[in-house]
Amino acid sequence: MTTIGFCGLGRMGAPMAARLMDQCERLLVHDISPEACAALVEQGAVAASDAAELGRTCDIIFLSLPTPAIVRETVLGEAGILSAGGSPRIVCDLSTSGPRLAAELADALVPRGVASFDAPVSGGIAGAKAGTIAIMVGGPQAEYEELRPLLEALGKPFYMGPKPGAGQTMKLVNNLLGAVAIGVTAEGMAFGIKAGLDPARMIEVLNQSTGINSATRDKWPRSVLPRSFDFGFAAALSLKDTRLLMDEAEAAQVPLPLGRAVQDYLERTLEREGPEADFTAIAKVVEEAAGLDPERRE
């Protein structure tokens, strides 16, 4: 069995790393939070001092990190995976870091004999714990067959092709549709509530009709109708992903006016609710603009 490294033990990374524990001889983990590492060590992992140690020690390394800049530094930086002679067989980025960075990493890794995969995920914290996340994979076909059983331990992988960034592109498409679903659902619900309709009844109807989407199916019943706004994904992270989407679309010369509208909603949500806001709080921004009381109880 192989030695696996996992860098980034946040709300998504920690449960994914835990699911790899039984898939390898040794699991080395690293995070800037000692507490996060300690929690995995208690389950049988070994703490690594930095990403460079992962690079020197591990056959396959997974990354689950919050921003493209941190991903780049973790792989290419002075104490990164490739420093100090690091040469794993495979590096797999599970973060949402964009197709251009995926191509940059491949350009650095492949000449050193390291297979580079971009494999961003979707499905939330509950999916990461249950092993039901969708994994969108770009990278070389031959090494994918070695990587696939490990990805299957995390969720359901979808191979998008050998081009670096193929998985990241698919994730940005998914993010666009998911974020727009929240925005347009908030608008439709505000219109109906202003006209006197019962919001719970509206969601019931939508989920049996052509208006059904991920927001009506999951986010409104769990977080908006009860006014808890705690679905589990930060508006700040959603905005980061949306800005990455818009930057990549601009580079590809693809106009995304709906994406721009969602970006505006997220920016206004953070202004209104603060940095800890959940992305479902977009509904409050839309309701307030419609003259409704966003602090009401349904």
Structural domain contains residue 249: yes
Same structural domain for residues 147 and 177? no
Judged on CB neighbours under 10 Å (0-12, 13-18, 19+), 129 is middle
CATH number of the domain that residue 239 is part of: 1.10.1040.10
3-class DSSP assignment, residue 197: coil
Span 88-105, pLDDT tens digits: 999 999 999 999 999 999
Range of the domain at 130: 3-162
Residue 35 CB neighbours (<10 A): 8
What 3 state SS string does 141-168 have? HHHHHHHHHHHHHHEEEEEEECCCCHHH
- Between CA 128 and CA 64 the distance in angstroms is 12
**Start-end of H helices in 80-140:** 99-109, 124-130
Over pLDDT 90: what percentage of the chain?
96
| Statement to judge: residues 139 and 227 lie in one domain | no
Q: What is the CATH number of the domain that holds 140?
A: 3.40.50.720
Q: Is 171 annotated as catalytic?
A: yes
Q: Which one is catalytic: 163, 171, 219, 284?
A: 171
Q: Using one digit for the tens of pLDDT, what is the confidence trace for 186-229? A: 999 999 999 999 999 999 999 999 999 999 999 999 999 999 99
Mean pLDDT, range 64-79, rounded to an integer: 95
Same domain, 23 and 140: yes
Q: Is the pTM of this model over 0.85?
A: yes
Residue ending a domain, choose from 162, 192, 208: 162
Q: What local confidence, expressed as pLDDT, does residue 81 receive? A: 95
